[in-house]
Amino acid sequence: MGLAGLTDLRVVFVGGKGGVGKTTMAGGLGAHAAGQGKRVLVVSTDPAHSLGDLFERSIGDAVTGVTAGLWCLEIDPDAQAQRHVDRVTEQMKGLAAPAMHQELVRQMDTARHSPGAMEAALLERIAGLIADQGGDYDLLIFDTAPTGHTLRLLSLPEAMAAWTDGLLAHNKRSEQLGQVLKHLTPGKRGEEMPTPFDDPREDAFAGMDRRTRHVAETLLERRRLFHRARRVMTDGQRTGFVFTVIPERLPILETARAVRTLTEYEIPIRGAIINQLIPDDADGEFLARRRQREARYLDQIQHELSGLDTLRVPLQSDDLQGVEALERGLIPILREHGV
């Protein structure tokens, strides 16, 4: 499985260390796929968004059209966390006694600022996009945040379950809910856990009051969403991960680490784009020396990422900015490689 045919997938993740050209590659792949007649949505999950810079327009937290067949979205993790916590707070209010409401809001507000809340909310949005089969787009491309963050995103069902359980622990006094939570406890990676709710003969909601039942159903629905998303993400027919790397020590090491971890998570890796190579026609003694150094790093990439399909993109004299620049400087290379 290589980079050829990449745009025939449903979901592509573009990962790599900050500054190596992830956003450029994600946007370039998007413009390339749109040029093939596909409907493409490029989604940035990096809090330091730059899709807007790439396409020279403001994008933000709403789907924005860029060119024919290409849309972009910059998820705002802060706003996402706020919406998420608001929703959960409303649900919890339904369960807690009115006298508890003020305390509940206070605790939920703390939860919003707790580490992991923004990520968890982000996860839910991403999972929703991925799990939305037969949705509005042929291809979703994620311009992901620096690798460490992406890897945490990929452990999604567990991360989310832990967070949800944490929030609900505030409401431990609800015995019924406690029972529901037992069934929501995350299992091993990649493993589908049968729950009493999946068995039509058993009515696990029996005996719950209406509100508890509603919360339980919501939680269950969320868990199913994460499992659906993970099923898509681990399916090589539908999903592929592409690294962007530059011939420098740290990005290479970080990418090699990420490849190992993703492999462990059974995420299908399609290859790596080696970006910012010194162009063949660049001359001068300085660049000749830099090229020797680059050759050593290319050897290292060969060694560290052996077995991965790679594609080389030269450093351009100008920034790769705007659809036209991508069409000139990047898309021909993608096309040549059969991407």
Applying CB under 5 A, the residues found at the interface with Mg ion are 22-23, 50
Task: Name the amino acid, one letter, at 143.
Answer: D
Find out whether 186 and 160 touch, Cβ atoms under 8 Å: no
19 binds, among ligand ADP, Mg ion, none (CB under 5 to 8 A by kind): ligand ADP
Can you tell me which of 19, 187, 190, 236 binds ligand ADP, judged by CB under 6 A?
19
Chain mean position to CA 284: 41
> Distance (Å, rounded) from C-alpha 154 to C-alpha 292?
37
212 near ligand ADP (CB under 6 A) = no
18 binds, among ligand ADP, Mg ion, none (CB under 5 to 8 A by kind): ligand ADP
Query: Smaller CB distance to Mg ion: residue 76 or 138?
Result: 76
148 near ligand ADP (CB under 6 A) = no
209 binds, among Mg ion, ligand ADP, none (CB under 5 to 8 A by kind): none
Query: Smaller CB distance to ligand ADP: residue 21 or 77?
Result: 21
Which residue matches tokens 């990422």?
305
276 near ligand ADP (CB under 6 A) = yes
7 near ligand ADP (CB under 6 A) = no
> Distance (Å, rounded) from C-alpha 189 to C-alpha 172?
26
20 near ligand ADP (CB under 6 A) = yes
22 near ligand ADP (CB under 6 A) = yes
> Distance (Å, rounded) from C-alpha 48 to C-alpha 28?
18
Work out how close the CB of 21 gets to Mg ion at its nearest, in angstroms, rounded to a whole number: 8
> Element (H or E) spanning 242, and its range?
strand 239-245
Residue number of the CB atom closest to Mg ion = 23
Check the CA dihedral 201-206-211-212 and report its sign.
negative
First to last CA, the chain: 12
Work out how close the CB of 48 gets to ligand ADP at its nearest, in angstroms, rounded to a whole number: 8
3-state secondary structure 192-211: CCCCHHHCCCCCCCCCCCHH
For the segment 41-100, give every residue that binds ligand ADP (CB under 6 A). 50
* Angle at which helices 249-264 and 285-304 cross, to 10°: 20
Query: Smaller CB distance to Mg ion: residue 13 or 226?
Result: 13
Can you tell me which of 211, 316, 322, 337 binds ligand ADP, judged by CB under 6 A?
316
Neighbours of 114 (CB within 10 A): 15
Work out how close the CB of 46 gets to Mg ion at its nearest, in angstroms, rounded to a whole number: 5
For the segment 319-338, give every residue that binds ligand ADP (CB under 6 A). 319-321
Query: Smaller CB distance to ligand ADP: residue 55 or 163?
Result: 55
> Distance (Å, rounded) from C-alpha 265 to C-alpha 219?
24
Neighbours of 206 (CB within 10 A): 8
Give the interface with ligand ADP as residue ranges (CB under 6 A): 16, 18-24, 50, 275-276, 313, 315-316, 319-321
